[in-house]
């Protein structure tokens, strides 16, 4: 009589081991999402004014590699800014009295024709934004100082201009040189019009400043 009861209990134990109870079923873990992070009004970056953007763009310098077949330009600011240049404010629509030089021979000819007078040179590239900003002021000075020779050289124009930039060791644009009697008497970089005007006038002699004083 005791054997059938023991056999039924063993059967129930075997079935319970093979089939786990419903209460033991595992549910998939719930994923928790963190709330999006929002900056407070004080922590948000302050937007620059138009005057601050213009000043940063004017003071930016661009590096130029003349050894490569094509010049590579890298803006130090890392930002693109659109600047409206009003050349009419200086009374200049085109190039004024600025001579476009495309080779070392053309520059030497322009320097020789200047004689003892000052020669001011602006070195630019085709894609240099600050060069375009300061150029109307450079052209304006060429009209104010008729006894000074003003020259513009596009450093990435062709093989001849790249060779000249490599010979002069040009690494940044816009770059300005001042020559007198074939010797360099001044050099600076940047696109600030007041610095351009001050440096050119300081290098002028009394004869070259005479036209400016009578204007």
Taking only the tens of pLDDT, the chain with its 215 residues reads 555 555 556 555 555 555 555 544 555 556 555 455 454 555 555 676 766 766 665 555 544 433 333 333 334 444 433 333 334 344 445 789 999 999 999 999 999 999 999 999 999 999 999 999 999 999 999 999 999 999 999 999 999 999 999 999 999 999 999 999 999 999 999 999 999 999 999 999 999 998 876 65
3-class secondary structure, 90: helix
Name the one residue in this structure whose structure tokens are 């200049």. 92
Active site residues: 128, 131
Asked if residue 152 lies in contact with residue 100, where contact means CB atoms within 8 angstroms, the answer is: yes
Structure tokens at 6: 């023991």
């Amino acid at each position: 009589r005791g054997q059938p009861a023991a056999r039924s209990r063993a059967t129930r134990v075997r079935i319970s081991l093979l089939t786990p109870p419903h209460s033991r079923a595992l549910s998939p873990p719930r994923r928790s999402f963190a709330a999006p992070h929002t900056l407070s009004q004080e922590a948000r970056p302050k937007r620059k004014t138009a005057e601050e953007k213009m000043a940063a763009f004017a003071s930016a310098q661009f590096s130029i590699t003349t050894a490569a077949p094509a010049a590579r330009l890298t803006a130090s600011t890392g930002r693109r800014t659109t600047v409206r240049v009003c050349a009419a404010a200086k009374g200049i629509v085109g190039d004024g009295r600025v001579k476009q030089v495309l080779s070392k021979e053309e520059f030497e000819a322009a320097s020789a024709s200047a004689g003892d007078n000052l020669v001011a040179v602006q070195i630019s590239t085709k894609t240099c934004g600050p060069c375009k900003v300061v150029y109307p002021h450079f052209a304006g000075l060429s009209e104010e100082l008729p006894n000074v020779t003003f020259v513009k050289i596009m450093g990435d124009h062709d093989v001849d201009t790249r060779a000249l930039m490599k010979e002069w060791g040009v690494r940044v644009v816009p770059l300005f040189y001042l020559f007198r009697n074939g010797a360099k008497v001044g050099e600076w970089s940047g696109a600030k019009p007041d610095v351009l005007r001050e440096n050119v006038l300081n290098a002028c002699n009394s004869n070259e400043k005479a036209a400016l004083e009578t204007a």
